């Protein structure tokens, strides 16, 4: 009998944050703009070996607009967020004052 944990893991997009040789946060090319399918209840889990802070400055697709090492799961996309091929939710990843600005796009 399946417990459904595989399905749970499939809906969590893991964004691994690393540091370049100058200590600036980096994510792999695939996660520069994360596409979440809200109908599949997809979420993000940010992962880093360093303490970090995530800030959405111009609106968050989630119920919260700040995340950190202790609160690294995004949770579900807000119900009021609609699909848009043009809208990218920009956010900052801050590690020790060094910033990276990736984004999130919402599909269905």
Domain spans of the chain?
A: 5-107
pLDDT in tens, the chain (108 residues): 444 555 556 899 999 999 999 999 999 999 999 999 988 999 999 999 999 999 998 999 999 999 999 999 999 999 999 888 889 999 999 999 999 999 999 987
CB 57 within 8 A of CB 73: no
What is the fold of 5-107?
Immunoglobulin-like (2.60.40)
Question: What's the pLDDT score for residue 4?
Answer: 52
Cβ atoms of residues 52 and 46 within 8 Å = yes
Model pTM score: 0.88
pLDDT at 85: 83
pLDDT at 2: 47
Residue 1: its pLDDT value, please?
A: 45
For residues 18 and 84, give the distance between their C-alpha atoms in angstroms, rounded to a whole number. Answer: 29
The whole-number pLDDT of residue 8 equals 59
Query: Strand pairing of 89-95 and 66-68?
Result: unpaired
């Amino acid at each position: 009998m399946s417990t459904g944990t595989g399905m749970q893991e499939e809906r969590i997009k893991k964004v691994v944050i690393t540091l370049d040789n100058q200590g600036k946060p980096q994510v792999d090319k695939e996660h520069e703009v994360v596409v979440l399918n809200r109908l599949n209840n997809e979420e993000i889990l940010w992962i880093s070996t360093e303490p970090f802070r995530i800030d959405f400055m111009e609106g968050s697709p989630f119920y919260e607009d700040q995340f950190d090492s202790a609160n690294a799961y995004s949770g579900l996309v807000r119900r009021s967020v609609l699909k848009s091929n043009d809208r990218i939710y920009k956010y900052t990843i801050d590690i020790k004052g060094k910033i990276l600005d990736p984004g999130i796009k919402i599909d269905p």
